Amino acid sequence: MTVLAMTKESPQLAANTQTEIPPVAQAVPRICLVTGGTGGIGSAICQRLAKAGHVVATTYRNEEKAKAWKAEMAKQGYTFHIYKCDVSNFEESQRVVKSIVADLGPITVLVNNAGITRDSTLRKMSFEQWRDVIANDLDSVFNMTRPVLDYMLEKNFGRIINISSINGQKGQFGQSNYAAAKAGMHGFTKALAQEVAKKGITVNTISPGYIDTDMIQAVPENIRQGIMAQIPVGRFGKPEDVAHVVSFLMQDDSGFITGANIATNGGHFMD
Ligand code: CAA
C-alpha cells in the first residue's frame, strides 16, 4: 500500500462505492504529523491514518530504531516520511516542521504523541528526571503546536490531538513528573481549543489507560498485575484502541468536538 492507495484505484474505496457507502473519511487526504511515531501507540496511529489515505510524517530521535521501523513498515506496505527531531527543543521543532511542510505540504493534522516516563517517588526524584519528563511530554506540545498552528490558520482547518494519559487524570504512585506533564496537556487543550474554535481547528486530548507497549512492560511485574486487576474490561489496551480514537477525532465531520478529553482506558478511571 502507498499513501495514494485510497484514491480512485483503491480496492477499499471501490468496495465502498459498490456498497454505496459514501467515503466520507477519505474525502480529503490530509498531511498528518505524528510525533514519536516509531513507538507502540505512535505506530498504530501512523498505520491507521495511512490506511485512510492520508500522508503521514513522523518524528524520531533514535536513528537506528527509526530506520529499522521504516523498513519494517515498508515491508508491510506503508510509506511513511520520517524526520529526526528532538521535540523537547523548540528551535529544532520549528526547523523540522518547516522541512515537513516544504516536502509534503501544509500540516493540518497534528498528533502530539511523543512522550517518556522517568518513574520515581518524589523523595528520590532528581531534577533531571523531573525536567526530562516535563520537557519531552509537555514542552513538546508547545514546541510542535506553535509552528504547525500557523499552517492550520492559513487553511482554516486543523485537528490537534494530544495523547495524554489516565495518570494525568488520576495521578499514579511514582509519577509526579509524568502526571504533572500529562495533566498540563488538558489545560493546554482547553485553552487553545477556545482560541482557535472559530478557525475550523479543533483541539482534543485522548487519555489512554494502560496500553500494552514497551512502556508498560517496563513496569515491575507485580505492579503490572495489580494494575491489570483494576481494569474492568479485563485487559490492557491495544495501541489500535488509541489509533481508533485518533481516526475519529481527525475526521472532517468531527468539527463539533473540541476541548474534549476522551478517556480510552477500559473503564480503569471514570470521571
Ligand atoms: N501505593 C502505595 N504505596 C506503594 C505503591 C502504591 N501504588 N507502590 C509502592 N508502594 C510502597 C511500597 O510498598 C514501599 O513501601 P515500604 O517502604 O513501606 O516498603 C514504598 O512505597 C516504596 O517506595 P520507594 O520510593 O522505595 O519506591 P521504589 O523505588 O521501590 O519504586 C516506582 C517506585 C519505581 C515508582 C515503582 O513503584 C513503580 O515502578 N511504579 C509503577 C509506576 C507506574 O505505574 N508507571 C506507569 C508506567 S506506564 C505509563 O505511564 C503509560 C501511561 O500513560 C499509563
Atom of ligand 1 nearest to the CA of 164: 53
From the CA of 219, give the closest atom in ligand 1.
39
Predicted confidence at residue 4, as pLDDT, reads 40
Through-space distance between the first and last CA atoms of the chain, rounded to whole angstroms: 40
Q: What is the pLDDT of residue 20?
A: 52
What domains does the chain contain, in order, with CATH numbers?
27-264 (3.40.50.720)
In a 3-state reduction of DSSP, which class is residue 50? helix
Q: Which three cell numbers stand for residue 246?
A: 485518533
The verdict on whether 60 is a catalytic residue reads: no
pLDDT in tens, 151-171: 999 999 999 999 999 999 999
pTM: 0.91
Task: Round the CA-based radius of gyration of the chain to a whole number and report it.
Answer: 18
**pLDDT, tens digit, 9 for 90 and up, residues 246-263:** 999 999 999 999 999 999
- What cell numbers appear for 143 in the block? 514546541
pLDDT, tens only, 2-30: 444 343 334 443 443 344 545 554 468 99
Q: Is the CB of 27 under 6 A from ligand 1?
A: no
